[in-house]
Structure formats: structure tokens, C-alpha cells
Amino acid sequence: MKLFWGLGKILTLGFWLVVLVNAVVVLPNPFDVLIKLAGGFLLLTHLLEVLLFNGSLRGRPHPWRDRLQIVFFGIFHLHSLGRRQAEVHHA
């Protein structure tokens, strides 16, 4: 499963590279608009993930670095964070 999440991070980083290249180099007409729309939609989705999972980042050592990685990698970074141990309260 770690291979799947790592491959997802690499592919997401590759997509952001395509979006940056599209911003610098003018691509053919239908592709430039589609890449810009897909990049904007992905950025909105990742920002929404940061807002939704902000509470789970508060106990982390470097929450701002985690937020930045969520903006770049989205759910692929969220899965690598792991889950907190359930707190057991005794009476």
C-alpha cells in the first residue's frame, strides 16, 4: 500500500509540474485551458482538505509543513500522517 501512496505523490507532483510548464509555455488551444481548469480545481480541492483536516494537524510537530504538503499532495499526504492513538479514559 505504501507503494501506491508514494506513486500517487509522484504523479501529483508531476501534474503540478505540467501546470507550471503550462503557465510558462503556451500549449495548444484546448489543452492550455483544460490544464488550467484542472489545476485550479485540484488546488481548490486540496485547500478544502486543509480546512477539513485542520483539527487533526494541531498536535503535530510541524503543522504548517503538513498543511503545505497537503496543498501539494492532497489525500496522499493525509494518509501518510497516520492516525492518533485513541485516548482511553479510566474512571
Q: What is the pLDDT of residues 35-53, one digit of tens each?
A: 999 999 999 999 999 999 8
Q: Are 32 and 26 in contact (CB under 8 A)?
A: yes
The span from the CA of 14 to the CA of 34, in Å, is 16
The total of structural domains in the chain comes to 1
Domain assignment of residue 56, yes or no: yes
Domain assignment of residue 26, yes or no: yes
Residue whose C-alpha is closest to residue 69's, from 85, 84, 83, 81 = 81
Residue whose C-alpha is closest to residue 45's, from 70, 14, 79 = 70
Alpha-helical regions (H) of 25-89: 29-52, 63-73, 75-81
Q: What is the pLDDT of residues 2-34, one digit of tens each?
A: 888 889 999 999 999 999 999 999 888 899 999
Helix (H, G, I), strand (E, B), or coil: what is residue 58? coil
Domain assignment of residue 14, yes or no: yes
Stated pTM of the model: 0.78
